[in-house]
Structures are given as C-alpha cells and as structure tokens.
A and B are shown apart, each in its own frame.
Chain A
C-alpha cells in the first residue's frame, strides 16, 4: 500500500527526469556551431537542393514544432535517423548485438566487482590493522586511482601479449550464442566468450571493485560501532550471524544507492574499455559518430544511455525502499 505509492512517485519522477534529459539532448543540436545543411549538402548544391535537405532533416519547422516532434517521436520509440547516412535510423544502426555487447560487458564487470569486493571489504573490516586489511586497502586505493584505459593497455601488455592472444579486433561471440552452443553440447563457444570477456571485464571492473571494497570496509566499520551491534551480541547471537544478518546487511543497503549512481562511471568506463579493446559496442559507436559529427546519432545514443541509466537507478531506489522501508517516510 505504502510501497505502491512510493513506487508510483518514483516512476513519475524518473519519467520527468528522462523528459528533462531528452530536452537537454534536443538542445545539444542547437549549440553546435555550423549549419548541418551546409555540412551535408554538396558544395555546388543550389537553393532547391538545400531546401529539400532542410525539409528532410525536419529543420524547416519552427523550433517548438521540432521539439514537439522530437519528444513525441521518442515516446513512440523513434530515435530519429542518422544525419550522415540519411536512410539509416538510429535504432537500426545501434542494433541489438552492439547493445547486448555493451550490456554484457557492464554486467560482467559488475559481477566481477561484487564477487571480489564484498568478501574483501568484510575481511578488511573484521581483521582491521592486519596484513590482509592493509593489502585490501592498498588494492582499493590503487584501483580507484588507476585510469581504466591504461589498466587495459597494461593488461594487454603484461598478459595478452605474452600469452599470445589479444582479445581485440574480432569481437567474440555473445553470451546467448555461447549458452546455446553449450546446451547443444559444444562448450567451445563459451570458452571463446570467456577469453574475449576476461580482460575487458577486469579492466572495467577494477575501479568498481576498488570502490566497493572501500565502501564495504568503511561501512562495516561504521556499522560495527553502532549500539544495536552490542545489543545483538548481548542476546547471544553468534558472531558470524551478527556480521552477516545485521552488520553486512545494513552496510549494503546504503551501498546499493551509491552503486546505482556509480553505474554512470561504469557506463563511462565501458566507452573507454570498448575503445581500448576495440570492442564493438555502444561506446565505440558513440566515439565513432562523434568523430563523424553525426548529431542525430549522437543524440540517439546519449538518450538511450540516459534512459537505461535512469531506469536502473529507479529500480535500485525501489529495491532500497524494499530493504529499508524508512526511506519511504521521507
């Protein structure tokens, strides 16, 4: 009941934010110096050709009509067409595999981060001032201070080159293909998938792992100092249970929101990682289209990323409220 109201409020808010983001993206085009028609039209084009091009791009309408068209098109899932290759729509160009490649990379990195960071943070906090604590602290400091493109290059230099397999250039198979082949009795594709995924996932996941380790450690330490922990110990609950059922749980609740916001860094990192490993995903496409000054494509990609980001954050918030109902009372 109360949760339903909270859910509704949160969803309305995120729709508003997406609308705002779309408006910002729409305005980007008007900030660009230069006239797209001049850029696209052949140098010897007459006024007639120019006018036709302008009409085709929808630039002959007054600005508020253009804005209205843009928003309504977005609402029905039409992200426009490329400016450079006029027949190609944004969604067509992004197509499913590129999108999946980026998502797979991001999820793999997150999984790497969670699997490593939470145990590391817990160990670090519980064995404070021991060698394991210091190593974990040093690792996390290094992790949040290392630019991931450089880390990727170093991994190529130190691991891929000596091993003789550089997971760049030819993109590996997608996970669903790999799983399909595995079910059909061929584990080879999954092996390929792993070989291609391993270094990029580590590259992208390191910053996240380091950050999560730091947050888990400091959160655990803060939580352990609270009065309820003493009360929990007083009622005889074994230490492991006190740690996992109470302390770690309460530590992870606020971390969930922070991670939601940090997902932005992950997406940004994915763009860089894709560039380093020539990974054929959304980020690589964005860079390529920016260098081509293809504004409608850029707008399309940016707004798709923003929608994904806002959606994930909304889900995270809803999860948070489910875990800790106090936030609904705000």
Chain B
C-alpha cells in the first residue's frame, strides 16, 4: 500500500497554565490518504481544535506540542534534507515522508500557506477588520507566488518588508507587498467559491460581509495556496443551518475538484456523515476510536462512539428517543487525570480492566478500524460495581 499523505503519531499538546498542566491532546495517532477527508468528532473541550492547531503548528503560549510526530509526504523536501544534512535526515526523514515537527521554525512556517491551509470556526473574527477581504486573500496568493518563484529562500517572502517598508506603504499606497496579479487571482478565487460579483466584493471590508459569505471568502483564502492538506476547524459551526448546508456543498464540490486532502474538525455527526471518508472520535484529548465512515456508524466499538450516535437525532427514525450520555466531560488538568480509561466513569460498560489506560486495539470492520477500549479486545466481563466512581 502506498504511503499516506499525512501520518500523525502519538501527538501530544499540553497547556502550562496557572492552574496546572492541561493535557489538551494526548497521544493522538491517525493517517490520512491523499485526497481523503478525515473527520475528527468530539464534544466541546475534547481537544479537537487544539489537534487541528497542532497540525499546522499554531499552538500558542502557554500551550506547546510536547511530543509526537507529524509525517507529511513531500518528496522534494525529503530529498533536500537528505542532501543538506544527512545526520538530521536519519531522524526526520522516512522515505518520502518528512517529520514536520523536527523541522526548524522557518521551514515549518514555510509549509503553512503553501502545503497546509486552515479554515477557522468564526469567519468574522478570523479576518482583519480593517483590511479589505480581497487584499487579505491576495496576501495568501502572494505568499504562494513568492514561495514558488524562490522555493529555497524563505527571505524572499518578506523581501525586506520591515518597519521602513511599513511606513512607506502606509504613506504611498501604490508600493505594496501584494502584487496586482495576486489581487486578480483573489477575485477569481472569490468567484470559485460562489461569491456573486467578486470584483466588487473584493474591495469591501469584512464587516460588510455576511457570516456565510465571509466563510466562503475564508475557503477562497485557503484555496489560494492550492494546499495539499486543508485543516478545517468547525467550518460551519458559527453559521445558520441553511448557510451551513451551502458551505458544505461548496466544500464538497471543491474537494472533488481539487482533490485536496482534508482534516475536518466538527462536533456535528451530520457533517461527518456528509463529508468524511475516515473518522476519528475524540474524547478527553484522546482519539478513542477511528476507522472508515462505515466502521464507525455501523460497527461502533467504543461505548462513547455509541453514545454519540445515540445522542444525535436521526431523520430515518424520528420517533426514537435520544439517549444522552450521562455525566460531564472530564477535566483535562494533569493532576486530576487518573491513569485509566477517561470515559470509564460515564461508561455503561465499565470493567475492571478499564482502570488501566487502554492501548489501541484492532476492531471489527476495515483494517483502519481501531479503538482504545478493552471491549475491542475481549467481551464485557468483570463489570465495575455501580457507583464506583461516585466518591
């Protein structure tokens, strides 16, 4: 089998706050094939957004990616590292795959906006309010153009744009970082994502856009770089339901057209069912179950996955009562986390084994189907007494 495009191994992200260490992402592993959509679903606070940010290296202080690897298939970069620094290559390069986490900061930044692009949850706060939408998208195009023109020198992207340049561009608007070609491309992109009258709208400011239109603009901005991997963090959550459907349609069309590989973060199972090929379920910072769409929806193994499915309304069987999952999402504070299956206290099938941290087991179904649950290993046996965790 060919190498996947993206292979995440044992990724951990921690936040070092005043209250203590927060384990937002813990030992997450998954693979995404070229052209596929990998969905990550979970409740709020389960660490899925932090996972997304960790992939593109945008976790900010007090948070830090502490462990793990993000392998990305990029043959030319792998080749270059082997040539430049054979010693580092033994660690950071594996065939055509490169471990992004081991690259230096400039190299990592260089991947953003060229190979990786991101769509954020709230489009209104993710655009700079005082610059026109067209210019902001054109910036993304410009980054890509400069990177293509000079793939090896990162400095070309800045081209001496320091304080002096800032002052001159503020006073002489014609001297600008963004070229005319990039602006034209930005208008084309706005057209691609279905914004009517794109040339006119490109000159408008974010506050003149509706939420849905702005999210389209953000998708256009992400497409600007023709990214290999698109990370979409709850792209429809902040929108009205009708708009959500439109945005999802747009995304699905573009996905088909560009053949992008997408990591889609959402708490909405409907979105997962509509968009994804592979799915991972996140709980308390861990990916508790992953597999193909069919694996998870038809053969869920982890009781949490079952619970999620049971708590979502379904059109086919509208009469069915929803089954909420009892209890609350656990605290992610390191000192409050015991070394056990974090779901055990809410799990209807908690067993004595669950008092130890479960490894990932192969589960029934496709070869991709894996679950962090002893139920995947053996049956339901030696149940914990009721009320065990009530203390």
A–B contact via C-beta, under 8 angstroms? yes
A324 interface hit (Cβ, 8 Å): yes
Q: What 0/1 pattern do residues 152 to 182 of B give for CB contact below 8 A with A? A: 0010011001110110001000000100000
Q: Are A233 and B129 in contact (CB under 8 A)?
A: no
A231 interface hit (Cβ, 8 Å): yes
B58 interface hit (Cβ, 8 Å): yes
Query: Shortest Cβ distance from B239 into chain A, in angstroms?
Result: 16
Q: Are A237 and B126 in contact (CB under 8 A)?
A: no
A234 interface hit (Cβ, 8 Å): yes
- Number of A-B residue pairs with CB-CB distance less than 8 Å in the complex they form: 107
A113 interface hit (Cβ, 8 Å): no
Query: Shortest Cβ distance from B121 into chain A, in angstroms?
Result: 9
A235-B143, A236-B225 given; A241·B158 CB < 8 A: yes
B128 interface hit (Cβ, 8 Å): yes
Q: Are B118 and A231 in contact (CB under 8 A)?
A: yes
A230-B58, A241-B158 given; A236·B128 CB < 8 A: no
Q: Are B110 and A231 in contact (CB under 8 A)?
A: no
Query: Shortest Cβ distance from B124 into chain A, in angstroms?
Result: 9
Q: Are A325 and B127 in contact (CB under 8 A)?
A: no
Closest residue of chain A to B118, judged by CB?
A: A234
A228-B126, A236-B110, A326-B207 given; A246·B224 CB < 8 A: no
A244 interface hit (Cβ, 8 Å): yes
Q: Which of chain A's residues have a CB closer than 8 A to the CB of B116?
A: 234
Q: Are A241 and B161 in contact (CB under 8 A)?
A: yes
Closest residue of chain B to A229, judged by CB?
A: B128
Q: Are A232 and B128 in contact (CB under 8 A)?
A: yes
A226 interface hit (Cβ, 8 Å): yes
Q: Are B140 and A235 in contact (CB under 8 A)?
A: yes
Q: Kindly state the separation between the CA atoms of A231 and B147 in the bound complex, as whole angstroms.
A: 19
B367 interface hit (Cβ, 8 Å): no
Closest residue of chain B to A324, judged by CB?
A: B130
Q: What 0/1 pattern do residues 206 to 223 of B give for CB contact below 8 A with A? A: 010000000000100110
Q: Which of chain B's residues have a CB closer than 8 A to the CB of A329?
A: 207
B113 interface hit (Cβ, 8 Å): yes
A162 interface hit (Cβ, 8 Å): no
Closest residue of chain A to B131, judged by CB?
A: A246
Query: Shortest Cβ distance from B113 into chain A, in angstroms?
Result: 2
Interface size class of B (residues with CB under 8 A): 35 or more
Q: Are A234 and B162 in contact (CB under 8 A)?
A: no
B139 interface hit (Cβ, 8 Å): yes
B69 interface hit (Cβ, 8 Å): no
Q: Are A234 and B117 in contact (CB under 8 A)?
A: yes
Q: Which of chain A's residues have a CB closer than 8 A to the CB of B222?
A: 235
Q: Which of A230-289 contact B (CB under 8 A)?
A: 230-241, 244-246, 248-250, 253
Q: Are A228 and B127 in contact (CB under 8 A)?
A: yes
Tell me which of A226, A236, A244, A253 contacts B161 (CB under 8 A). Answer: A244
Interface centre among A231, A239, A246 (most CB of B within 10 A): A231
A323 interface hit (Cβ, 8 Å): yes
Tell me which of B125, B140, B162, B207 contacts A240 (CB under 8 A). Answer: B162
Q: Which of chain B's residues have a CB closer than 8 A to the CB of A324?
A: 129-130
A230-B120, A240-B158 given; A326·B139 CB < 8 A: no
Q: Which of chain B's residues have a CB closer than 8 A to the CB of A323?
A: 130
Interface set of A (CB-CB < 8 Å, partner B):
119, 122, 226-228, 230-241, 244-246, 248-250, 253, 323-326, 329
Q: A236-B157, A238-B157, A248-B166 are in contact. List 5 more A-B contacts (CB 8 A).
A: A226-B125, A233-B109, A235-B113, A235-B118, A244-B161
